[in-house]
Amino acid sequence: MKPIEAMIGQPRAHHALMFGINVKEPGFNIYAAGLPGTGKTTTVLDFLKEVSRDVTTPSDWCYVNNFADEYQPKALECPAGIGRQLKRDLREVVQAARLAIPQLFEGTDYAAKREEMFRKMNQVRQRTIVKMGKEAEKDGFAMQFSAIGLSLMPVVQGKPISDDEFLSLSSNQQQSIVEKREELKEKLLPFVKELRDIESKARIEVAEFDKDVALYAIEHLMSSLLQKYKDYDNITEHLREIQGHIIDNLDVFRPTRSGEKGETVQDTSGELAFRVYDVNVIVDNSGLQGAPIVREQNPTYDNLLGKIEKEGQLGNLTTDFTLIRGGSLHRANGGYIMIRAELLLRDLNVYEGLKRALKNHEVKIEDATERTGYANIKTITPKPIPLNSKIILIGDPNTYRILFAYDPEFRELFKVKADFDYTMAKTDDNAHSYVGFLSALVRKEKLHHVDASGIARLIEHGCRLADDQYKLSTQFGLVADVVREADFYALKSNSKYMTVDHIETAIDARVYRSNLIQERLREYIQRNVILISTSGTEVGQINGLSVIDVGDFEFGTLSRITVAVGLGREGVIDVQREVNMGGPIHGKGVMILAGYLTSMFAYDKPLTLTARVVFEQNYEGVEGDSASSTELYALLSALSEIPIKQNFAVTGSVNQKGEIQPIGGVNEKIEGYFEVCKARGFDGNHSVLIPDSNVSNLMLKKEVIDAVKEGRFHIYSARTIDEGIEILTGIPAGKRKPDGGFEKDSIYDLVDRRLRDMAEKSKQFHNL
């Protein structure tokens, strides 16, 4: 058989995926719903791999410094692969600038030009100072410049005097000197302003000269980058901003301290200052062909929506645009992202964050403290990135129903449901597809191939998993696990192929590893710790079948159901419900019994009885209605006083019209009773009674089938209570006669007479 890796038996899900993936309007994201093991994740992943090949590879996304506002880093979109190149190119340019700029500033040409500029400035400054000196001399003062500014010293008898000499003068002389000094200061103010203007102009000229020098050093470097990225306006705009910032911040590049031999060297302690020119590539699609497919296995807020990291500097936490980290939504931008629904819902903040991104069509990276609204440190707010991604949630149907019912936004954002069926029809085509799946599995995982007998057994196992003779289970994960385990036994036995024996061994081993509780219950029944009769007859007593689920394993078990009947007006009483050990569905089933009795026997008399229905030795509670027909048989036996054959175990639900309805777990129930009978020893009479509508669900173990063929074990089916009670008692149920009564000495006739007698006695007792 050729291997088949395509979607098998899921036409509805395939249609939904095709629609959801190809529709471009917002809100048409997908929820893939199905039971575990139906291949949802693998199917969706394979489907996306096919469609993603024809999609254009999306852009890279980078965060760069915002020179206008460093607290709001800019998002830079680049064609796929360009982000990494831009990061490398800018680092090379900045490194080259760090070498070229100091070399020019240390050159003789730069020093000579700078010296000439300062010489000219000093000449102009000196002329102004001479003018100031002459003005001061006219008024009897001498000028002196110091580190703290301009000083005016009074001149007495042709020479400047000190402060001590000034204090030795008369008060009138001192007053006169002070007044003249104040007048002189006013006269010198224009000259002081002129000096400041000269110095300011000189600084501006030197700064402009430095910028010209720096521009000369980096212009050829930047021009090559501008030429390389000329087709991308957003990149060239950022490059020009970098060029302007370098020229305006030359102190970072210039030599600032002396080395051991007196030479000037660059200060490398400020490496962080050069981060502003870096490029933080948060999405790199350089190695991608087609659209990205992302599987987010741990959808925390940071993993999904990105985060802002921090680093310690001098005891403080700081951050910048280089510490922004993208999330899986960023990586899936322009493509597809798969998320397990139950993992997403572990933290409602994550779910709300995803919905916010989908509604706003953008991904905004926020600091954790900002998200809670209690930010206590200064941080950055990166510009959001536009979001164009298809979200596929993988989950079970119950989660979908809850979200759809209680979250209106979910309905608007996930409009496509891809419903994965857990069964498919057992047609020839589907059977061949099953084998194709097995062929693909063994080739992919390098297992032993399966021979015809093993394939037939696996198809039977698929029907068993589906609980239907005409269906195959699409829980391929469960089938694959059996194949993997059978491969172990094939390897152990040095077999060339996996055969039916290896498959059977694997299935039996899986049961053995999980059926400890089943063995204990069977042992208790065998030792009569749990009282179960499998032979003889009893009135008002019957063996009921139920299923116990222990997580990885389900098995059938027996319960003794008894009914006690007496006079009264309480009707049918569910003892389990009275003591809060019965669930609502079981309670409903018991109430249906009363409805059945009313419709059958209360046509000419009131029902005046009290009947208590009990699951004996049950300490865990009872739920479900699959024992309601069993309880009704016991009730009819108790009323008619006709015994029920105890070699029977019974299951089936009943409605008020006496029709037997199908139940679940029929195979497990039959096999559970079979094991008990096997342990006690078959007597040729052991039997089960199931609903006729469950016959198509029979996919029993070979051991059970062989026992039925050999007459050691029997399976009966019934469509109505009439058929069932006849099988269990050997007495006709009885047809209703024209006068309303039933055929004489039938079960129903005996019940009717008993109820009439009880009604008469109750009336007499009431009259007393």
Does residue 135 have a pLDDT over 80? Answer: no
Give the model confidence (pLDDT) of 176-195 as tens digits.
Answer: 877 787 777 787 788 778 77
Q: 268 pLDDT exceeds 50?
A: no
pLDDT exceeds 70 at position 269: no
The answer to whether the beta carbons of residues 688 and 673 sit under 8 Å apart is yes
Taking only the tens place, the pLDDT of each residue in 299-352 is 999 999 999 998 877 777 888 999 999 999 999 999 999 999 999 999 999 999
Q: How far, in Å, are 19, 78, 260, 277, 287 from residue 290 at the CA level?
A: 19, 16, 57, 31, 10
| 40 class by beta-carbon count within 10 Å (0-12 exposed, 13-18 middle, 19+ buried) | buried
Contacts of 351 (CB under 8 A, 6+ apart): 344, 345
Residues 689, 441: Cα–Cα separation, whole Å: 40
Question: pLDDT tier at 684 (50, 70, 90 boundaries)?
Answer: very high
Q: Which residue has better confidence, 130 or 407?
A: 407
Q: What is the CATH number of domain 423-514?
A: 1.10.8.60
Is residue 149 predicted with pLDDT exceeding 80?
no
Q: How far apart are CA 755 and CA 601, in angstroms?
A: 8
Collapsing DSSP states into helix, strand and coil, what is residue 267? Answer: coil
- Residue 154 CA to residue 184 CA, distance in Å, equals 11
Give the span between the Cα atoms of 675 and 557, in whole angstroms: 9
Burial category of 581 from C-beta neighbours within 10 Å (exposed 0-12, middle 13-18, buried 19 and up):
middle
SS3 of residue 553 by DSSP:
coil
Question: What span, in angstroms and rounded, lies between the C-alpha atoms of 265 and 665?
Answer: 85
**Which tokens go with 386?**
């536009």
What pTM did the predictor assign? 0.80
Determine the Cα–Cα distance for residues 497 and 513; give it in Å rounded to an integer: 25
Alpha-helical (H) ranges within 386-532 are 397-406, 408-413, 428-444, 452-466, 476-492, 500-514, 516-526
Query: CA 460, 463, 468: angle at the middle one, nearest 5?
Result: 135
Q: For residue 768, what pLDDT is reported?
A: 53
410 close to 48: Cβ distance less than 8 angstroms: no
> Is the per-residue pLDDT at 262 higher than 70?
no
Handedness of CA 448, 451, 457, 463 (dihedral sign): positive
Helix (H) or strand (E) holding 717: strand 714-718
Question: Bigger pLDDT: 181 or 354?
Answer: 354
Percentages of the chain per state (helix, strand, coil), in multiples of 5: 50, 20, 30
Q: Is the pLDDT of residue 104 over 60?
A: yes
Across 347-473, the runs of DSSP E, i.e. the strands, are 362-363, 385-386, 390-395, 416-419, 423-425, 471-473
Percent of the chain with pLDDT over 90: 60
What's the pLDDT band for 368 if we cut at 50, 70, 90?
Answer: low
Question: CB of 53 within 8 A of CB of 66?
Answer: no
Mean pLDDT for the stretch of residues 633-662: 95
Pairwise CA distance, residues 300 & 485, whole Å: 35
- Side-chain half-sphere of 599: how many Cα atoms within 13 Å? 10
Domain ranges of the chain: 11-58+288-419, 126-205, 423-514, 530-767
Task: Find the mean pLDDT for residues 617-645.
Answer: 92
Q: Cα(169)–Cα(163) distance, rounded to whole angstroms?
A: 10
CATH number of 530-767: 3.30.230.10
Partners of 425 in the β-ladder: 471
Give pLDDT, residue 58.
Answer: 95
Write down the pLDDT at residue 635: 95
**Res. 216: pLDDT tops 90:** no
pLDDT at site 207: 76
Res. 462: pLDDT tops 70: yes
Pair 743, 733: CB distance under 8 Å: no
Helix (H/G/I), strand (E/B), else coil: 96: helix
Q: What is the mean pLDDT of the chain?
A: 88
Whether the CB-CB separation of 320 and 279 falls below 8 Å is answered with no
pLDDT of residue 162: 75
Q: Mean pLDDT across the stretch 465-474?
A: 93
Q: Which CATH code is given to the segment(s) 11-58+288-419?
A: 3.40.50.300
Highest mean pLDDT among 4-13, 591-600, 682-691: 682-691
Mean pLDDT on 236-256? 83
Q: Report the amino acid identity of residue 761.
A: K
Q: Which residues contact 768 (CB under 8 A, 6 or more apart)?
A: none
DSSP 662-678: --S-HHHHHHHHHHHHH
Region 45-57: what's the mean pLDDT? 90
**At a CB cut-off of 8 Å and minimum separation 6, what does 134 contact?**
none
Band (231; pLDDT cuts 50, 70, 90): very high
